[in-house]
Amino acid sequence: MSEDFLRIAHVSKRFGGVTAVDDADLAIARGEFFSLLGPSGCGKTTLLRMIAGFEYPSAGDIFVEGARITDLPPNQRPSNMVFQSYAIFPHLNVFDNIAYGLRKAKLKRAELRKRVEDALAMIKLDGFGARRADQLSGGQRQRVALARALVQRPKVLLLDEPLGALDKRLREAMQIELRQLQKSVGITFVFVTHDQEEALALSDRVAVMSGGRILQIASPRELYEAPNCREVADFIGEINFFDGVVRARDGERATLDAGAAGTMTVAAPDAAGTKLLLALRPEKISLSAAGGRVAGTVAAAAYLGERSHYNIRIAGRDAPVSVAAQNTAAQAGHKVGEAVHLDWSDDAVLILRS
Amino acid sequence: MRRSRIGLSLYAVAYLAFLYVPVLFLPLFSFNNSVFIAFPLNGFTTQWYGQMLADSAMLHALRNSLEVGAITAAVSTLLGLLAAKALTRYRVPGGGAVLAFTSLPLFIPDIVLGISLLILLNLAGVPLSLVTVIAGHCLICIPFAITVLMSRLDGFDKSLEEASLDLGENGWMTFWRVTFPLALPGIISSLLLTFIVSFDEFLIAYFLAGSEATLPIYIWGQLRFPYKLPAVLALGALILVASAILVVIAEWVRNHGIKDGKRAVVGA
């Protein structure tokens, strides 16, 4: 039951000849923080707008708690939205912005005032009721938009890149606030973003979208550690790809020949001769002067504070191998031109079938 | 450098003088104690204002013009608002062509428009009256209304209207609670603009008014009688004062009215 709190059943949206969303099929649980992640134009905002009721699906249906809402206009849906531009009404003050939807509900004056003031307290803007929209900072406008939606007590809160317009420091602070808020109100959040770090930091689960299709739906850890295709692996974080061929089998395990990257033994069911795409995250590779699997030279080095980033050129491979090393010691890392050895554990290798 | 600045200043002063000095002759001669519009001035009088107030035909024409102008302004602004809303908010099939066609009356000479409308009304057997003048004026005023209102509606974030729907209001209440207050400065501009276009329009009114006369038609008729001219000047002076007040009000609304919804989306 709770698995199917918000169900998007084979929903597609076409604009003329362009397919913006292609057969999206997913279920979101009650109280879940669910993100739609993808580059601009991947269809994530169109999917969100279909849940809100601003776009009508070309095919498929949307259900909330088992009730079909596909044909309901936006004003009758159990969802509220935080817009990318925040859409704070410029002709109303903060109090009237937050009270906008409550006036419709014909609450008693005292009840209305209390609900708005509680909402202002929740977003830590007590006493800001009389301010006009143009007297607020970006972060304050974002919080007013959030309060205006939450005061409606929606079953689902839809957020369209709500942190996109904020600067980095404020964005990180708001991420933490947003996550705490979601836990305390217990409302299901559907969050659209193109920022993969943001999606990983905030979400219970993430749907990665590209070209209108949903590529993978998984927890942040699973997306990063076990992407199901090349596109997801490439989009989430940084990664090195290798081509490999199965040479021999030994029960559950297969021995692979990965060309310049050498041979490795991994758990894979594929028969000898099968071609596989292998992937390795930069931080899973260790560098040392002494020895390892593969020898190479440092082509580029960047010091990033808590870690350093290297591009290592190895024989028999055009693209340099990307390596990330934690700067645990204060001494200098490897220099450009230095000879180094790369090493990694066989278990760190991801196998992608494409 | 300095020389060219003086040159430009002289040009600016001459330009403003060319624009406004002729207009100032109106109030000046309306108080001049002579039937002839010529210098030197003879002396101060208010008799022409008295004559104007006694001229019932002129007052009738003024009333006609005010009526035609007010109804034209209301009708063309209302229709313009509906068209502007449709063109800026919905995917209208052939929206560009619709806009081009509604703007066409701006580019057709009024004399051609006046004659064609006269022929059409004759063929249809519609008697000429102030109603036909209003219809003709709406035809030329609607493009102005659409242009003014489209730029206003384009000027604010359309997610404001979506936010209202999202917060539970229906389309009609969203219009009254969000679109209308935000578009109000544009609506007032449109009302003033279309009123003025209608108020001093001559050609179409001349063809379509029948036995009635609007003020421009009446004044045109009076030019044959020199002794009536000073009263026309007195009326002109009053209209000038009224227009100046209207312009001040319009500017005040523009500056002190509702602030733009588009401004400062990101204000840290």
Our CA-based measurement puts residue B177 at a distance from the nearest CA of chain A, in whole angstroms, of: 9
| Residues A75, A153 share a domain | yes
| B2-46 pLDDT, tens digit each | 667 888 999 999 999 998 888 888 888 778 777 777 777 777 788
| B188-213 pLDDT, tens digit each | 889 988 998 898 888 888 888 888 88
Average pLDDT over residues A283-305: 88
Judge whether B180 is closer than 8 Å to chain A, CB to CB. no
Sorted by where each starts, the structural domains of chain B and their CATH numbers stand as: 41-228 (1.10.3720.10)
| B51-70 pLDDT, tens digit each | 788 888 888 888 999 999 99
Judge whether A2 is closer than 8 Å to chain B, CB to CB. no
Residue A79: closest C-alpha in chain B: B166
| Residues A304, A163 share a domain | no
Q: Which of A90, A137, A165 sits opposite B261 (nearest CB)?
A: A90
| Residues A30, A108 share a domain | yes
| Residues A322, A179 share a domain | no
CA distance A39 to A264: 34
Question: Which of A89-93, A134-138, A215-219, A332-336 shows the highest mean pLDDT?
Answer: A215-219
Rounded to two decimals, the ipTM of the complex is 0.82
Residue B167: closest C-alpha in chain A: A101
| Residues A140, A227 share a domain | yes
Least confident segment among A111-115, A188-192, B71-75, B255-259: B255-259
- What CATH number is given to the structural domain containing A227? 3.40.50.300
Res A331: pLDDT:
67
Domain carrying residue A339: 240-352
- What CATH number is given to the structural domain containing A319? 2.40.50.140
Residue A134: closest C-alpha in chain B: B264
**Residue after which a domain boundary falls, among A235, A269, A288:** A235
**Residue after which a domain boundary falls, among A200, A235, A270:** A235
**pTM of structure:** 0.79
| Residues A99, A35 share a domain | yes
| Residues A14, A136 share a domain | yes
Q: Give the CA dihedral A275, A280, A285, A290, nearest 10 degrees.
A: 20
Judge whether A100 is closer than 8 Å to chain B, CB to CB. yes
| Residues A309, A168 share a domain | no
| Residues A161, A15 share a domain | yes
Residue A53: closest C-alpha in chain B: B166
- Helix/strand/coil for A210: strand
| Residues A87, A210 share a domain | yes
Look at chain A and report how many structural domains it folds into.
Answer: 2
Contact assignment for B162 to A83 by CB distance below 8 Å: yes
**Residue after which a domain boundary falls, among A235, A257, A290:** A235
| Residues A99, A28 share a domain | yes
Helices A138-150, A94-104: crossing angle, 10 deg rounding: 20
Least confident segment among A50-54, A178-182, A190-194: A178-182
Res B1: pLDDT:
53
| Cβ partners under 8 Å of residue A167, min gap 6 | A138, B268
> Which phi-psi region, left, alpha or beta, contains residue B223 (left: φ > 0; alpha: ψ -120 to 50)?
alpha
Structural tokens at position B193: 């603009």
| Residues A150, A11 share a domain | yes
Res A1: pLDDT:
41
Judge whether B158 is closer than 8 Å to chain A, CB to CB. no
Our CA-based measurement puts residue B159 at a distance from the nearest CA of chain A, in whole angstroms, of: 6
| Contacts with A75 from chain B: Cβ below 8 Å | 165-170
| A237-284 pLDDT, tens digit each | 889 998 888 888 888 888 888 888 888 888 878 888 888 899 999 999
CA distance B131 to B72: 10
Res B3: pLDDT:
66
Percentage of chain A surpassing pLDDT 70?
Answer: 98
Average pLDDT over residues B108-133: 88
